[in-house]
């Protein structure tokens, strides 16, 4: 079937300056023409709005499935904000086992196209390495074999949550990566060991891992690592690495608060001091602690009782995040994460917030914001031959939005509230969202690395 979206504005994503008013024709799941005047079976009126390639979220956290009947939660939030492809398995964490997750999508479909990274911390744990231990020789061999198997079966990256296993030192990380040394067809992404007053040390370690493993590297969620008053120094540190020819990219989400589980090592020691914050800046997200006024005692009790509960920490300087987004090596990504439907609004608002609020404030141009949300992450995934551009032969994942109206609406009360201004979203050539309503949430497919 041939469908046409008429009267739209599209950006040449390679050139990043040329806008064209045209019609876009899709046959089955592929874009076949960006010229006017094609006969089709079905027409949509784009009303002169912007038609963009579907957004590619290179850093998010997939659903934690416990049974075959589980429905998609964050996947739907992604879809409603215009994301059509996302990579889970970040920060070393596998919320659902790799094969189980992709097989689930193969059987049931998904709101978006999904790919995964191999999460090192989860694999380490699966091979019996306790938090406070280091892997034995035998365990490391099994971990390496496991990583090789996942990369062979389609993982796009290997990710580390260095902060979450403080005993994981640089030697362990490099040893785990040894079988992949020099490979350019995958990448490594890491959540830094340190944030706040020690952010630079964390960056230096990650750049060292990139240099010695000789694998393309992605620094995860820069804002939650660096936006505490020293962003300028952090960006200079990254640029020193780039100047040495190291292949580095960065992702960030556009907020002044971060979110993670209360039981993690993020909250050990004098965590408030390192962010120069107080308990008033910390919000717990689930009952009976939801939005309650915190002090040290209540925080400690909640941490012991409910280690999986998400915490929102309003401790970052958003102006510094904005500054980082001006840099060409910084991409937009949500780091979206929900537990029982609760969590940080970034999982439902990241892309509209950058394309709306940030663009209108003049933080970056609409063209740059679109590139950082589409072709740039598609390139890092090695999928830029079929994702991230509106061009004949490319996959028909599309989002129609109003640049005047687009705006994130999710907040810390309702972290899943859908955005405004996203008019329609197509996934694999079929309409998935119309006026913020999901009309088909099973159009997405699994993507395995190496698949054409
Ligand atoms: Zn992380």
Query: pLDDT tens-digit profile of 371-390?
Result: 999 999 999 999 999 999 99
Between 240 and 413, name the one with better pLDDT: 240
Question: Cα of 91 to ligand 1 centre, how many Å?
Answer: 4
Question: Cα of 90 to ligand 1 centre, how many Å?
Answer: 7
Predicted confidence (pLDDT) at residue 239 exceeds the cutoff of 90: yes
Question: Cα of 183 to ligand 1 centre, how many Å?
Answer: 24
CA atoms within 13 A on the CB side of 88: 27
Question: Cα of 125 to ligand 1 centre, how many Å?
Answer: 17
Question: Cα of 161 to ligand 1 centre, how many Å?
Answer: 6
Question: Cα of 93 to ligand 1 centre, how many Å?
Answer: 9
Predicted confidence (pLDDT) at residue 291 exceeds the cutoff of 80: no
Residue 396 DSSP label? -
Question: Cα of 127 to ligand 1 centre, how many Å?
Answer: 21
Predicted confidence (pLDDT) at residue 88 exceeds the cutoff of 90: yes
Question: Cα of 188 to ligand 1 centre, how many Å?
Answer: 13
Contacts of 365 (CB under 8 A, 6+ apart): 359
Mean pLDDT of the chain: 94
Burial class for 66, CB neighbours closer than 10 Å (0-12, 13-18, 19+): exposed
pLDDT recorded at residue 14: 83
Question: Cα of 52 to ligand 1 centre, how many Å?
Answer: 28
Least confident range from 281-295, 352-366, 429-443: namely 281-295
Question: Cα of 28 to ligand 1 centre, how many Å?
Answer: 37
Predicted confidence (pLDDT) at residue 46 exceeds the cutoff of 70: yes
Predicted confidence (pLDDT) at residue 77 exceeds the cutoff of 80: yes
Question: Cα of 159 to ligand 1 centre, how many Å?
Answer: 10
79: its two tokens: 């879809």
Question: Cα of 129 to ligand 1 centre, how many Å?
Answer: 20
Give pLDDT tens digits for 93-145. Answer: 999 999 999 999 999 999 999 999 999 999 999 999 988 889 999 999 999 99
State how far the Cα of 444 lies from the Cα of 442, in Å rounded to an integer: 6
Question: Cα of 224 to ligand 1 centre, how many Å?
Answer: 8
Predicted confidence (pLDDT) at residue 288 exceeds the cutoff of 90: no
- Between 231-243 and 318-325, two packed helices, what is the crossing angle to 10 degrees? 30
pLDDT recorded at residue 435: 87
Neighbours of 125 (CB within 10 A): 16
Question: Cα of 2 to ligand 1 centre, how many Å?
Answer: 42
Predicted confidence (pLDDT) at residue 452 exceeds the cutoff of 80: no
Least confident range from 135-144, 259-268, 330-339: namely 259-268
Question: Cα of 48 to ligand 1 centre, how many Å?
Answer: 39
Question: Cα of 191 to ligand 1 centre, how many Å?
Answer: 5
Between 269 and 246, name the one with better pLDDT: 246
- Between 170-177 and 137-152, two packed helices, what is the crossing angle to 10 degrees? 50
Least confident range from 59-63, 280-284, 330-334, 418-422: namely 280-284
Predicted confidence (pLDDT) at residue 161 exceeds the cutoff of 90: yes
* Residue 351 banded pLDDT, cuts 50, 70, 90: very high
Give pLDDT tens digits for 3-35. Answer: 999 999 999 888 888 999 999 999 999 999 999
Question: Cα of 59 to ligand 1 centre, how many Å?
Answer: 9
Question: Cα of 189 to ligand 1 centre, how many Å?
Answer: 10
Question: Cα of 12 to ligand 1 centre, how many Å?
Answer: 32
413: helix, strand or coil: coil
275: helix, strand or coil: helix
In what helix (H) or strand (E) does residue 222 lie, and over which residues does it extend?
helix 222-226
Query: In sequence order, what DSSP letters do the residues of 142-202 get, joined into one string?
Result: HHHHHHHHHHHTT--EEEEEGGGSTT--HHHHHHHHGGGTT-SSSEEEEE-S--GGGHHHH
Between 123 and 450, name the one with better pLDDT: 123
Question: Cα of 295 to ligand 1 centre, how many Å?
Answer: 25
Question: Cα of 112 to ligand 1 centre, how many Å?
Answer: 21
Question: Cα of 252 to ligand 1 centre, how many Å?
Answer: 10
Neighbours of 433 (CB within 10 A): 26
Contact 79, 427 (CB under 8 A): yes
Residue 215 DSSP label? S
Contact 433, 419 (CB under 8 A): no
Contact 369, 82 (CB under 8 A): no
Cα dist. 316→20, 144, 302, 445 in Å? 39, 36, 23, 36
């Amino acid at each position: 079937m041939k469908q046409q979206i008429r009267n739209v504005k599209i950006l040449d994503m390679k050139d990043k300056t040329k806008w064209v008013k045209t019609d876009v024709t899709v046959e089955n799941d592929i874009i076949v023409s960006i010229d006017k005047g094609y006969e089709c079976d079905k027409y949509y009126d784009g009303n002169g709005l912007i038609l963009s390639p579907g957004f590619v979220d290179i850093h998010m956290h997939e659903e934690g499935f416990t049974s075959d009947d589980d429905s998609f939660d964050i996947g739907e939030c992604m879809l409603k904000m215009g994301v059509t492809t996302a990579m889970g398995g970040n920060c070393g964490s596998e919320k659902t086992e790799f094969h189980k997750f992709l097989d689930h999508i193969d059987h049931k479909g998904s709101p978006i196209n999904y790919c995964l990274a191999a999460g090192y911390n989860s694999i380490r744990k699966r091979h019996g390495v306790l938090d406070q231990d280091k892997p034995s020789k035998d365990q490391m061999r099994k971990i390496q074999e496991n990583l090789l198997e996942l990369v062979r079966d389609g993982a796009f990256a290997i990710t580390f949550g260095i902060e979450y296993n403080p005993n994981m030192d640089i030697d362990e990380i490099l040893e785990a990566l040894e079988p992949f040394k020099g490979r350019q067809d995958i990448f490594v992404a890491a959540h830094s060991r340190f944030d706040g007053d020690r952010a630079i040390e964390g960056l230096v370690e990650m750049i060292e891992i990139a240099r010695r493993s000789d694998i393309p590297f992605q620094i995860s969620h820069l804002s939650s690592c660096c936006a505490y008053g020293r962003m300028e120094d952090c960006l200079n540190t990254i640029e020193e690495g780039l100047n040495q020819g190291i292949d580095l990219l960065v992702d960030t989400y556009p907020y002044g608060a971060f979110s993670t589980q209360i039981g993690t090592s993020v909250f050990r020691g004098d965590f408030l001091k390192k962010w120069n914050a107080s308990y008033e800046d910390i919000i717990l997200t689930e009952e009976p602690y939801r939005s309650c006024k915190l002090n040290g005692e209540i925080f400690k009790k909640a941490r012991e009782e409910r280690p999986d509960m998400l915490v929102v920490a309003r401790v970052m300087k958003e102006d510094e995040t904005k500054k980082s987004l001006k840099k060409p090596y910084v991409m937009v990504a949500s780091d979206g994460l929900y537990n029982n439907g609760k969590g940080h609004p970034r999982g439902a608002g990241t892309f509209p917030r950058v394309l709306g609020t940030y663009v209108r404030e003049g933080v970056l141009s609409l063209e740059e914001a679109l590139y950082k949300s589409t072709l740039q992450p598609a390139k890092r995934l090695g999928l830029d031959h079929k994702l991230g551009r509106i061009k004949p032969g490319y996959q028909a994942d599309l989002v129609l939005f109003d640049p005047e109206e687009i705006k994130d609406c999710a907040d810390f009360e309702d972290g899943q509230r859908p955005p405004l201004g996203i008019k329609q979203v197509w996934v694999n050539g079929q309409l998935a969202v119309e006026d913020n309503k999901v009309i088909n949430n099973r159009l997405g497919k699994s993507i395995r690395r190496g698949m054409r």
